Structure 1
């Protein structure tokens, strides 16, 4: 999205014309779409600007190519190599992860071209976005925390796809205002959380004074932390720091029937034509809500469904928002959104049931919403109504459509632009009202707003035919720069949608974000949970991933510059006095609590001949204890490596069946595997000492990736097999070759030792990820 400059020609004859003959499109008054792509592979090395790859991709800067024939489908391999599948499985992170656009072979070697890579399309000339290290020194404390929090959110899904090394490579980490962007993915040795912390050491030393003690404490504890703990600690720090920020939000929303429709099946909240401004100053934490729905069902009731969804969502969310006078916990707001969406779905579905509507006759609606609370923005969507994020450097689609094309891409069946050409690729796979809420999986995203930007919410009456890519620099970039109002831009986009699309209703909502005063509120090191040495020693961490990688990748210290300490000290001088006061306060408190704290810490940490356990390289944490009613995520796939027997999990119907398992007449227990990212609930754990090694589990979800937006089970051309059916004949026991993946709903007794080593406890799991175990 960010790689497209203005312009798609609306005349079909222009698309068929020779793209390099600019006169062919003069009749349209528009140029062709320009997509800037990042090139990877041996085939892109050694080229000079102006070189043409595969007779269509022109090199404009080092490894940055322009597609000169955007009207033609890009090239893609028949069979995708494993290194490309990771991109597709991680497509649920469209703001951070680039997307494969084309792949082909040349005489010089293979070429991979990525769209939505970390490219600043408004720069002249077009160039890569700055690295995180280059932008670190001048970033306010909230933004520094925000960048690290985004890395922490990506850690587990990247580990599942074996590309976590990407997050430890400074040159691959780029930033676009408050958003972390990745230049490309890198596979390799699986780093530990401690190694991730090691890559943050130079950042912590150059961090803003308000957060430096917290970051150093956080990094020193990462050797023993879980990914969930790391993410939670950063979330707590963000909540503290964000309370000191002053924000201004401008909102404008318009909906229009369009020139060719008999009725408007879109609906919005606030009402069309509303223009609002909200100023947020600490300690107040006001809220703002924007809803866009696009009804499905035509004369069968699409307009009824969209209006009903708006009414139900308002009824559920407005009381929640009115009670949020203080900062709210993110999990609470995410749960409130999921419950409101489920309620809207069920009310529309109930009306369908009462009218005995079946299959395609059922009315429904898409949904995209933005909820602002203080310095936080929550985006939620179902269907193909979209949200876009616009910065000074780029325009990106922040949501991933719930349609067949996106599903096929995420399952790894092909590049997005390849599957987009398949019949039925635009068909929705979910919308509000089409079935029970237990089968609905809304996507909810959380953003920290610490930089001027614009969020656009719209129905497909505007987004069809790449109209956002066509007009964003002309109509939305001036809003980011403060040169045009949100209201004027929204009205213009409705007019442009009617002129260049005109086949559908159109709804446009624009949320302009402006930071009046960045936060300098201090985050104490105590947020980490224990007193730690402030000047963390790199020797406390495990060695780098590999010596070659360490030698070829520039360090963060190198990017920050040899005098980064001096620069940081000079920049921080005005805050020195306040920093000394804070240190004095924390010092007194720390002196009082130090004795009790160290004694308690000593009791908690394992002892080994007086040695500091933090110093032991390669130390591993013991498997977690599985607690009743908790959720755990499978961290390591139980599928076998090629040529070896899979480590099957064995589920028994009852504990009596366990004791009878040696009997020839006993039923064979179910055996199967679970891929990484699966969610399992611990239903029961006996209290008897002789039964402590057994737990009853239920498989809640089995997903092809571990993204926050991943539905528990995605259907596709090759659905996952069902688990083996228990037989009465012991000879029918499944062999490793016949083993299957356990499906959601599989339940039974299992040895705790089988699950604990490959699982990690998940606290506060959102309803969207609880799958079939949702209550």
Structure 2
């Protein structure tokens, strides 16, 4: 089966385009020049840009008395007989380098090029079969079934910790190369371009709380790795990586040596080396804590985690005392670390010999919220006439203000914005005039009434009622009545740092997307069908009415006593993407069914709003296209509120 790179749906191997979204399954567009290049080619045939899919390969070769490097030579420079995975040249002198040895195997590392990058691998299918079999039996340990299905043993640690993805890399494929001395082959995501944590700590000026955050993640992971004897993974410096969003992840898993199992003391000594090389003063509280670990005076994982969190809380309260007068500070300011690894298996987190709190236990002990701060604010809007309308009655407005200052106090970001989408009422006179007038009225209103403090509910209501009154007065002066009265829907969003306010009238919508909560619809359509549902009618019956989609509220047709906008306030706790849109885009559950394809990837720093917006509008036209289509994307990147290190 071929997996579509756009919507991830499965297609037969002979498909030229995706049956779901019509994306090409034979060619891909070069990100640099836009030239169409076959997906099997690693470089753009026009500009030479590398476009191939690389995998990290781990080879586990059984030990033998006559083992030589030549025994790792694969036929025709491919790992597999089907010649899908081509051995890729690296910067190393050797194609494969030894990374570890066990009593039975030598482990090698290298890279391979996927010559069939859209073809689905076989391992996920096998793992799903095991899961289904486990449900039908009383067995809880999948290891025996993995062995029976021929899954290599060196893939077991990754499969055991699959709930810790993406911290632990997920196995893409695995098999045994019987023609090469029964060598086990494991394919993992290629993270070699990720930055290492030691490099950041040693060579960049970091915030104290950021360092504690990473250290606590390592300690939290230690228990899980200890349960399967892979703690060595945390002691290899080049294995500790951060993606472009500074999310922690391992390059691969390293087995422990049975004769010399790793200790928490060694981890402390590694941390101490980083601080020393980075020139951090040894008298700081964090340095003192690390010294105790390095000397073996603190050797319990649970105790170390609690001390790290207490240290973070103390630092946070000291640095932010003046600014957090009205904010409740968590006794454990690193509770958010537990949320980064939410699906730890209980048996992997606990020591069978002692009662130690798990990450979930720690998270549940506190309901307070760690203060967050803005890192970046980006927005993009687009409107399209659609394929069946002769003119566009939609209108949108955006006003972003971003001020970034760099000083000895660190990088300070101040950002706020006003974002609006209006859908002129279809079939009404001058719908496009109504939508434009509403946008301009609200932009002028907030320019005057939002100077300092974030607008409260009453201020937002006043702005919306003012827009309605202006439209209503025009209708009255033109003696318009009935279907001749112009009107518009409205969705409005205000952003100030990590505070967000959302208001709406009508059936245009606001969605938000985040990693932890997924997709949320923040607005409820003001229409007859939804009103019936709120009155207790079954949704199926409510929308069987002929007037189910008739608006119950809109700006313009009626005076202010009939306008009751919904207004809500949100405090963000993680990176969030907002989508404001007219119903031409969200009709027929487009957002609900395809948000993971078009919107979720935008939470990554490397994803372009512009390219995704174009694809989203094109897809909405092919999926719907019966109405005008308008979308405004607003992305906020945030992090725990920290201050420069005060050693």
Q: If the length of structure 2 is used for normalisation, what is the TM-score? A: 0.43
Q: If the length of structure 1 is used for normalisation, what is the TM-score? A: 0.37
Q: Which has the larger radius of gyration?
A: 2
